[in-house]
Chains A and B, each alone.
Chain A
């Protein structure tokens, strides 16, 4: 099923919007670099709305104290801080937790979601 959601420029980079897609709440995410993603809007931990959280670069390190921001973005749950990849929906700390990721494309600046 194909859903036309809203114009991408309605969503500021680094922000999210909750959208009802056929009765399912979806977090539409625009990362700080401008790309658009969509995750099911429910944290697999306790059910918080991911769209109430934040989107930013994941913190990574190869050695103790070697913090750096990666090129990969995560949504961080507003309740307990679980981090979900905007690309895959996988929880960075524990792959048993994930948020379903939806395929989204831009068509003439319109965000289109398929599920």
Chain B
């Protein structure tokens, strides 16, 4: 007799309701830990899960890549703390960044990207406010060499403005942080109150990509592809949006900073967009200046990763873009591809340009750092 032929027991016993066979077609079993899969993996996949960074064991459906770096924190290995984290302890930052890398002042922006949340804006706003308060208490108030960022949720612009006005009261807050999202354009007028609030409070608006930042084709098959284009593509799109939607015409005093996008696209972007503007000005007549002029006055690019090009090429690049005021030194501490200043800003770069990139441009860019002059 097969299972299908088994008579329901209740039929024979009589009285009670009949019980038939029951097949549940949607049941979830679970892993206590993703590590339970390790014994079943091939050697290469085992290496990816056990030795390389970026594999978030608790969220295997999140960021789709394993970064092939030995640091699980995707950091310089000597900067990893004993608990496996990086950038999480002030004393370590003092030793590693200020002493070890010769940094005098640092602007922190965290690893958290609240504006990248696709929904639940109230909760995201609460998280960003909590983060801002934590940042002030545990970092800014502990070391006056550290300057901070206001984290906001851009898709609730009114709440974002309230948060900017609230947190800007702290004198070491120097910028508003926005993630390089790829599903919205920050030049859209609905986001304008955020830029107005930044300018009103003498804050820069800074952009940084994250695990939410997709490429034009979404998620390429490999991390190397994503890491190559996600940041510069999205930065170029957001910068284009800011320029073409008149942000800098409306707020000429505003400065925006793009991080980790590479640097060599800058001259091409200026040339190409100026050309487009000469041809298509009538479509965006509220833009009153050449895009390259707006960029020279209002847009700043962090240098890391600068190791992609030689010092001579960097010098030529600055000349081509006529833009010695645009580039700001950035290390990207504590990531594995962090730039050490003496390695990337070699003495073969003219001293005047080197000092501009080391600190002068930053002093001119961040209104709240101008007090450091002299």
Q: Which residues of A contact B (CB under 8 A)?
A: 45, 58-67, 80-83, 91-94, 97
Q: Which residues of chain A are near B290, meaning CB under 8 Å?
A: 93-94
Q: Given A64-B245, A93-B290, check contact A59 B278 (CB 8 Å).
A: no
Q: Is the CB of A61 within 8 A of B274?
A: no
Minimum C-beta distance from A48 to chain B (A): 12
- Is B285 among interface residues, defined by CB-CB distance under 8 A? yes
Q: Is the CB of A67 within 8 A of B279?
A: no
Q: Which residues of chain A are near B279, meaning CB under 8 Å?
A: 80-82, 93
A94 to B279, CA, bound (A): 10
Q: Which residues of chain B are near A81, meaning CB under 8 Å?
A: 279-280, 282
Q: Is the CB of B278 within 8 A of A82?
A: yes
Chain B interface, >50% SS class: helix
Minimum C-beta distance from B98 to chain A (A): 43
A87 to B277, CA, bound (A): 21
A70 to B302, CA, bound (A): 41
A88 to B282, CA, bound (A): 18
Q: Which residues of chain A are near B281, meaning CB under 8 Å?
A: 83, 92-93
Q: Is the CB of B285 within 8 A of A59?
A: yes
Q: Given A64-B189, A64-B245, check contact A58 B286 (CB 8 Å).
A: no
Minimum C-beta distance from B251 to chain A (A): 12
Q: Name A96's closest neighbour in chain B (CB-CB).
A: B290
Q: Which residues of chain A are near B277, meaning CB under 8 Å?
A: 93-94
Q: Is the CB of A60 within 8 A of B285?
A: yes
Q: Is the CB of B285 within 8 A of A45?
A: no
Most buried by A among B246, B277, B278, B280: B278
Q: Is the CB of B286 within 8 A of A93?
A: no
Q: Which residues of chain B are near A66, meaning CB under 8 Å?
A: 286
* A64 partner, pick from B274, B278, B280, B286, beta carbons under 8 A: B286
Q: Which 8 A-B pairs have the closest CB atoms?
A: A93-B281, A61-B286, A61-B285, A59-B282, A93-B278, A80-B279, A81-B279, A60-B285
A69 to B279, CA, bound (A): 18
Q: Name A82's closest neighbour in chain B (CB-CB).
A: B278
Q: Which residues of chain B are near A45, meaning CB under 8 Å?
A: 278
Q: Name A92's closest neighbour in chain B (CB-CB).
A: B281
Q: Is the CB of A58 within 8 A of B282?
A: yes
Q: Which residues of chain B are near A61, meaning CB under 8 Å?
A: 285-286
A62 to B274, CA, bound (A): 20
Q: Is the CB of B285 within 8 A of A67?
A: yes
Q: Is the CB of A64 within 8 A of B282?
A: no
Q: Is the CB of B278 within 8 A of A80?
A: yes
Most buried by B among A58, A60, A64, A97: A64
Minimum C-beta distance from A61 to chain B (A): 4
Q: Is the CB of A94 within 8 A of B274?
A: yes
Q: Is the CB of A63 within 8 A of B286?
A: yes
Minimum C-beta distance from A94 to chain B (A): 5
Proximity string of chain B (164-201) to chain A, C-beta cutoff 8 Å, 1 when within and 0 when not: 00000000000000000000000001000000000000
Q: Which residues of chain B are near A58, meaning CB under 8 Å?
A: 282, 285
Q: Which residues of chain A are near B274, meaning CB under 8 Å?
A: 94
Minimum C-beta distance from B43 to chain A (A): 57
Q: Which residues of chain B are near A93, meaning CB under 8 Å?
A: 277-279, 281, 290
Minimum C-beta distance from A52 to chain B (A): 16
Minimum C-beta distance from A43 to chain B (A): 11
Most buried by B among A60, A62, A93: A93
Q: Given A62-B286, A64-B245, A66-B286, check contact A97 B189 (CB 8 Å).
A: no
